[in-house]
Amino acid sequence: MKCPVCGHLEDRVIDSRPSDEGAAIRRRRECLACHYRFTTYEKVEYLPLFVVKKDGSREPFNREKLVTSIMKACTKRQVSTDQIEHLVSSIEAGFSNQLNREVPSEKIGEMVLLKLRDIDEVAYVRFASVYRRFSDVNSFLTELLTLLNGKQEQGAEANAELARYLAQYFQDKQQAPSAGPAEDQPVAGSLPLKGDAK
């Protein structure tokens, strides 16, 4: 490898160890000409992921857009940036390990919901209300009841918070002017949350 100081092309590896939880190898090298020591990292190069949207079109996976949409769902919730980054990293790594480089947008949305449900119930419902586009009150209530039944052990406080969000959601729905069908949105990050609870 070319020395960053003198440009000599020969060196020797003096130390090699795993890095980034085994995802990379860190190597300490010494130039054979000037004896300058430097560090290099060896990582697997993943092919880019593509998201297949509902209309059949494809676009490159955009990590930042997905992080932003999850952050909107987590507004005013006790969910750290690190938790969101870890959630997105685990989803991205899971899809990167597959041979198929194309992922349906629905699959990404379902993975987010699966992981978000264990982190914060209100954020889960916010994300679900946009992603699943509940057609009526009954489908929304069914989703909430399923969530509440699975979270009974967390007590009345969590359920009360969900009830407050539900009340705000329907209040916003009643105040909003009637509109046509929602425009199709890609899941790979661009999930705008309309009418978030204040």
Do 34 and 121 belong together in one domain? no
Round to whole Å and give the CA distance between 197 and 52.
30
Do 27 and 124 belong together in one domain? no
Do 94 and 166 belong together in one domain? yes
Do 28 and 67 belong together in one domain? no
Q: Is the pTM of this model over 0.75?
A: no
**Residue 190 forms part of a structural domain:** no
Do 17 and 54 belong together in one domain? no
Q: Count helices and strands (H / E) in the chain.
A: 6, 6
**pLDDT, tens only, 89-142:** 888 888 877 777 899 998 998 899 889 988 988 888 888 877 776 666 666 677
**Residue 182 forms part of a structural domain:** no
**Residue 113 forms part of a structural domain:** yes
**pLDDT, tens only, 149-162:** 665 545 555 556 66
Do 69 and 126 belong together in one domain? yes
Do 64 and 36 belong together in one domain? no
Do 88 and 145 belong together in one domain? yes
**Residue 57 forms part of a structural domain:** yes
102-104 and 50-52 strand pairing: parallel
Mean pLDDT of 180-187: 41
Do 38 and 56 belong together in one domain? no
Do 56 and 122 belong together in one domain? yes
For the chain, the domain total comes to 2
**What is the DSSP code string of 121-175?**
HHHHHHHHHHHS--SSHHHHHHHHHHHHHHTGGG-HHHHHHHHHHHHHHHHHHHH
φ and ψ at 33, to 5 degrees? -95, -55
Do 104 and 157 belong together in one domain? yes
Do 55 and 117 belong together in one domain? yes
> Residue 25 belongs to what domain range?
11-43
Block residue for tokens 């990404």: 108
**pLDDT, tens only, 7-34:** 999 999 999 999 877 778 999 999 999 9
Say which range, 7-11, 49-53, 169-173, 182-186, has the weakest mean pLDDT: 182-186
Structure tokens at 131: 């992603």
Block residue for tokens 């889960």: 124
Nearest to 76 by CA among 130, 128, 122, 109: 122
**Residue 189 forms part of a structural domain:** no
